[in-house]
């Protein structure tokens, strides 16, 4: 079910060794490879098939040998520690956690329709769910000598962030990197994994083979693939993506050349989100149908569960509550989306007219989606969680 890799023109091409990919993926960019899951299958199963999981690569996919693979751990005032993949797998308890990953740029296309934004014009399907298996970062760090205090700091209270560096490199040989707050990394309820399996199989190359970070509840950019080093530090990752890319600004700050982002916090948790998957945009509904089944997903970051999804076929004048299907995850550890479905009666006079179907979700913190993308518009086109029409 996978197509051959795209032919390459040049052996020195950093993209010469990209993996084969499923032909049904909706490709946004080939180099680096960015592709959405086909929307129509997204709401069918709580777990997205691995080869149809959306893919967001920042750089070429590295070729890595899992037989001779080490993860390096660095912390202030201590010698560097290297743990082999085999050691990681054998030493620590394994956890399997259903986690939804969502690109912070999911639904940028709709935001860009308000005003031009930077970045890949993702539709609604830069989001997928897999069961990730791995060891807990918390356990690994404890083994590396980190003493975890009751308030989720470590012995060196000046350590505030955990950096993840990938093996993927840009033309200047700089690697992809990102960081998360130390409290998330050390939280026993945070479920941050070093994952080596996705849906019960070894990771595929596109999803971080042989090992990646999984940071549930955060934008997927923090779940660094092809994990090379883990570094405990006072500040955030110095990488371009942490410092500059994944940040949002006021709607009136529309000139990236003059924005001072030094004091703008880097995005971490995702806001409440939902989208319609079925029927597809512009799909024709038979005039003789008396009812219509609508399906989609809803998700909130930070482990917050979805408590309600409302669906309208008249653009938000009247609403009907959808049925939710979810993994059995407790409220503050709801790392995976809920799928939803609702069957609505169609107005008898609907033939030939257009239905304005829309949805909106509420999470267990009472957060609701903004009505429109106007007020949350930002020049990077990030975190569009407006009502989906």
Per-residue tokens: 107: 């639904």
The nearest distance, CB 370 to its own copies, in angstroms, is 5
259 burial via Cβ count (<10 Å: 0-12, 13-18, 19+): middle
> Which span sits near its own copies by CB under 8 A: 18-26, 222-230, 281-289, 315-323?
315-323
250: partner contacted, choices Mo ion, its own copies, none (Cβ within 5-8 A by kind): its own copies
CA 299 to chain centre: 11
**Near its own copies in 51-80, by CB under 8 A:** none
Pairing, β 175-181 against β 161-169: antiparallel
Specify the residue, 97 or 221, whose C-beta has the smaller distance to Mo ion. Answer: 221
Q: Which residue blocks in the chain are alpha helix, DSSP H?
A: 39-42, 85-91, 108-114, 137-143, 182-186, 240
Binding flag, residue 85, Mo ion (CB under 5 A): no
- In contact, 388 and 296? CB cutoff 8 Å: yes
The nearest distance, CB 362 to its own copies, in angstroms, is 7
Q: Which of 335, 274, 324 is nearest to 302 (CA)?
A: 335
CA distances from 77 to 71, 156, 238 (A): 19, 10, 20
**Near its own copies in 188-247, by CB under 8 A:** 188-189
**Near its own copies in 123-182, by CB under 8 A:** 150-152, 181
Binding flag, residue 103, Mo ion (CB under 5 A): yes
Specify the residue, 265 or 352, whose C-beta has the smaller distance to its own copies. Answer: 265
Binding flag, residue 338, its own copies (CB under 8 A): no
Sign of the alpha-carbon dihedral angle for 86, 63, 233, 266: negative
- In contact, 197 and 207? CB cutoff 8 Å: no
Binding flag, residue 365, its own copies (CB under 8 A): yes
103: partner contacted, choices its own copies, Mo ion, none (Cβ within 5-8 A by kind): Mo ion
Binding flag, residue 271, its own copies (CB under 8 A): yes
Contacts with its own copies by CB under 8 A lie at 150-152, 181, 183, 188-189, 248-253, 264-265, 267-272, 301-302, 307-308, 310, 316, 318-321, 330-332, 360, 362, 364-372, 374-376, 383, 385, 387
């Amino acid at each position: 079910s996978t197509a051959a890799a795209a032919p390459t023109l040049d052996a020195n091409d950093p993209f010469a060794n990209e993996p084969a990919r499923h032909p049904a993926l909706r490709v946004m960019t080939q180099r680096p490879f960015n592709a959405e899951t086909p929307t129509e299958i997204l709401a069918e199963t709580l777990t997205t098939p691995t080869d149809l999981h959306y893919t967001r690569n920042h750089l070429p996919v590295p070729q890595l040998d899992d037989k001779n693979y080490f993860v390096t751990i660095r912390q202030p005032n201590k010698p560097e520690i290297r743990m082999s993949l085999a050691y990681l797998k054998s030493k620590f308890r394994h956890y399997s956690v259903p986690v939804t990953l969502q690109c912070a740029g999911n639904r940028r296309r709709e935001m860009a329709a308000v005003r031009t934004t930077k970045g890949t014009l993702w539709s609604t399907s830069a989001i997928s769910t897999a069961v990730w298996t791995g060891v807990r970062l918390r356990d690994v760090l404890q083994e590396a000598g980190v003493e975890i205090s009751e308030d989720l700091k470590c012995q060196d209270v000046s350590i505030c962030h955990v950096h993840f560096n990938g093996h993927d490199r840009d033309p200047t040989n700089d690697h992809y990197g990102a960081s998360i707050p130390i409290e998330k990394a050390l939280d026993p309820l945070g479920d941050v994994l070093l994952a080596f399996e996705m849906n019960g199989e070894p990771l595929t190359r596109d999803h971080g083979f042989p090992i990646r970070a999984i940071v549930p509840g955060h934008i997927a950019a923090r779940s660094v693939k092809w994990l090379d080093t883990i570094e405990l530090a006072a500040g955030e990752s110095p990488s371009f993506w942490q410092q500059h890319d994944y940040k949002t600004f006021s709607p009136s700050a529309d000139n990236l050349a003059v924005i001072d982002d030094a004091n703008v916090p880097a995005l971490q948790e995702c806001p409440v989100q939902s989208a319609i998957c079925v029927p597809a945009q512009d799909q024709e509904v038979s005039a003789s149908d008396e009812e219509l089944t609508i399906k989609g997903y809803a998700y909130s970051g930070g482990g917050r569960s979805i408590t309600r999804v409302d669906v309208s076929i008249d653009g938000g004048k009247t609403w009907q509550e959808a049925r939710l299907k979810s993994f059995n995850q407790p409220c503050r550890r709801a790392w995976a989306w809920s799928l939803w479905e609702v069957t609505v009666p169609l107005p008898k006079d609907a033939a030939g007219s257009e239905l304005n179907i829309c949805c909106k979700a509420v999470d267990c913190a009472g957060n609701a989606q903004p009505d429109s993308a106007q007020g949350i518009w930002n020049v990077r086109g990030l975190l569009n969680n407006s009502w989906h029409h």
